[in-house]
Amino acid sequence: RFFGFIPTSPTWPGIVADLLAAGYLFNQCTWLVASGPSQVELVVIDWFRRWIGYPEEAGGLFTSGGSAASVDAFVAAREAAGHPERATVYMSDQSHSALPRAAVIVGVHRDHIRKIPSDSGFRLDMEALSRAVAADRAAGLHPIAVCANAGTSSTGSIDPLEELADFCEAEDLWLHVDAAYGGFAVVTERGRELLRGLERADSVGLDAHKWFFQPYEAGCLLVKDRETLSDAFHMPHDILQDTVWGADHPNFADIGLQLSRSARALKVWMSVQTFGMDAFRRAVESGMELAARAHDYVDASPVLEPLSTPTLGIACFRVNPGGDLLDEAALEGVNRTVLAQMFWDDPAFMSSTMLQGTFALRMCIINHTTTWDDVRETLEAVERFGRKALSERGAPSG
């Protein structure tokens, strides 16, 4: 019943794999040093490539997480653009804080990071993006990249990927998709439809330690053209001259930030080999189904109000009995009281977010062991605490 943030719920083979990797102390920097783990990473990266629909010339590597993947992606985008002065990047106002942080790390000035407004469905507004890029070009800035969301942290919303791909191709901009949370929905039929256009991005960030049920750390960056990573990161070094064995024996240290690297792909490989892909598909589908049922429950409740429509596995709502007795500030106070009561009584763990200025309670249903009873009983607790908080303010409680 841990529904706060976007928690992992690791499989036991993943845990065993981490134990093995730590015990053998693989340093998966080069093929010469760690050919076995490197081959495993190649295999798993190729699984991911096929799942999202990338061509054979695509590639990538495992990272510590989506934040590190975003940094690597921005480095590749910057180098592909020729490392211009006054580089400017664009992202939704719903984007994770890791994206603007990554832009700053690679040298984009804070004043050149554009937060594009989102629509009522918390998706990036294409018209606003088009206006912003045109205005920046006219002002002498150099747009280099657009960052799309494939599952925002707050609501799980997915930006219009096909439209963004068309726009970036026309404007000669790098398209990076932050799919750290939602990307692995692509293993399901419904998820593939929701994520149509993902395969057209120049780069995609994934977190297997979110919706692919792995222990930390299991981030990943995929790029449509693997050469963009080696062009951005490869730096010859005398002490590593013995490790250059050619394209068939890649050195992952040459395509990303880290030289010393743990064997992160082993946990994914062992988990899939143990359970098979059907188990993972069912687990992802279950999260989406439970979020939809939670939304229906909230919609039917006399004291709860849905604040977003679930796209993936996140439901956002608040305590609100309707009417005009409580203003927005009072409603926020009620819901903060409810959240604090949830923390203290501990029937389940939830978190909150702000949705275009509105305080929202948030349930991320990502644990593969969660049942409808867990979700229902959590919502019943929210209703119970909500009625108490409303009565203390003299408001009707349904």
Domains 12-268 and 278-392 alike in fold: no
What residues contact residue 113 under an 8 Å CB cut-off, 6+ apart? Answer: 88, 89, 91, 100, 103, 104
Neighbouring C-beta atoms of residue 85, cutoff 10 Å: 9
CATH no. for 12-268: 3.40.640.10
Tokens of 244: 């250059």
> Domain segments of the chain: what residues?
12-268, 278-392
**pTM confidence score:** 0.93
CATH no. for 278-392: 3.90.1150.170
Give the type of residue at 3. Answer: F
Residue the block writes with tokens 């997915």: 158
- What is d(CA 380, CA 378) in angstroms, rounded to the nearest whole number? 5
Instruction: Return the CA Rg of the chain.
Output: 22
Contacts of 354-359 with C-beta under 8 Å, sequence gap 24+, read 354/154, 355/122, 355/154, 355/155, 355/307, 355/308, 355/316, 356/118, 356/122, 358/307, 358/318, 358/328, 359/318, 359/331, 359/332, 359/335
Residue the block writes with tokens 């108490």: 388
- What is d(CA 69, CA 204) in angstroms, rounded to the nearest whole number? 8
Q: Are 56 and 36 in contact (CB under 8 A)?
A: no
Per-residue pLDDT tens, the chain, 398 aa: give them: 888 888 788 999 999 999 999 999 888 887 778 888 999 999 999 999 999 999 999 999 999 999 999 999 999 999 999 999 999 999 999 999 999 999 999 999 999 999 999 999 999 999 999 999 999 999 999 999 999 999 999 999 999 999 999 999 999 999 999 999 999 999 999 999 999 999 999 999 999 999 999 999 999 999 999 999 989 888 677 666 556 656 667 888 888 988 889 999 999 999 999 999 999 999 999 999 999 999 999 999 999 999 999 999 999 999 998 877 788 999 999 999 999 999 888 888 999 999 999 999 999 999 999 999 999 999 999 999 999 998 887 776 66
